[in-house]
Amino acid sequence: MIRQTIGMAFIWLGIAFDFLGVLGLVRLPDVYSRLQAATKCVTFGTAGLLFGVFIIKGFSSFGFKALLGIAFIFLTSPTAAHAISRAAHRGRIPLAEESVADLYESDGELKEK
């Protein structure tokens, strides 16, 4: 019973983080800040939800599949986010007007190409 309660609390928290991250995806001004909000929705939203499923189901095959899903998401999702942001910056997609610094541009890594 107490395991059910703790797991449902994690699932509620994960759903809330998912919803807030998607709200940031709609409301923020440019690609990079949208990507930042969306990645927050990954690393606590869906991972917290899968951790709640693991707590409810315990040490069964169901629970271990959820744990494997957490490990896989933590490995792959930041890699994909980094690749997308790097490709967007190299594809000359502009920043928002409100942004104050572009350190990746001023480092001079793009001038070599």
Sequential DSSP letters for 6-67: HHHHHHHHHHHHHHHHHHHHHHSSSHHHHHHHHHHIIIIIIHHHHHHHHHHH-SSHHHHHHH
- The pattern of x and - marking residues 34 through 73 that bind another protein according to CB under 8 A reads xx--x--xx--xx--xx--x--xx---xx--xx-xx--xx
| Residue 1 CB coordination number (10 Å) | 4
User: Least distance in Å: CB of 107 to another protein?
Assistant: 18
Pick from 32, 31, 44, 34: which is nearest to 77 by CA?
Answer: 44
From 26, 100, 101, 103, residue interacting with another protein (rule: CB under 8 A): 26
Listing DSSP states for 66-80 in one string gives HHHHHHHHHHHHHHH
The answer to the question of residue 2 lying near another protein (CB under 8 A) is no
Of the candidates 9, 10, 2, the residue with the CA atom closest to the CA atom of residue 66: 10
Pick from 13, 31, 95, 104: which binds another protein (CB under 8 A)? 31
Closest distance to another protein from the beta carbon of 49 (Å): 5
Q: Which residues bind another protein (CB under 8 A)?
A: 8, 11-12, 14-15, 18-19, 21-23, 25-26, 31, 34-35, 38, 41-42, 45-46, 49-50, 53, 56-57, 61-62, 65-66, 68-69, 72-73, 76-77, 79-81, 83-84, 86-88, 90-91, 93
